[in-house]
Amino acid sequence: MARKVNQSGFKSFDIISRTIINHYQTILNYFDNRSTNASAESFNAKIKAFR
């Protein structure tokens, strides 16, 4: 499928395809375990607000 996306000539599809390929394990982890990095993002936001 990635080959067809590359051959389509649409740069935005190529970027999306590479993103999915590079992060597929993290993406699938959400569906397997319903785990996200929301707690880390919240902690980072608190640190940023404190600064």
Q: What is the pLDDT of residue 5?
A: 65
What is the pTM for the complete model shown? 0.45
- Boundaries of every domain in the chain: 11-50
Q: What is the pLDDT of residue 37?
A: 79
Q: What is the pLDDT of residue 33?
A: 78
Over the stretch 1-51, which tens digit does the pLDDT of each residue have? Answer: 567 766 777 777 778 888 888 988 888 887 877 777 788 889 999 999 988
b vs e for 6-44, b when ≥16 Cβ sit within 10 Å of the residue's Cβ? eeeeeeeeeeebeeeeeeeeeeeeeeeeeeeeeeeeeee
Q: Classify 25 as helix, strand or coil.
A: helix
Q: What is the pLDDT of residue 39?
A: 83
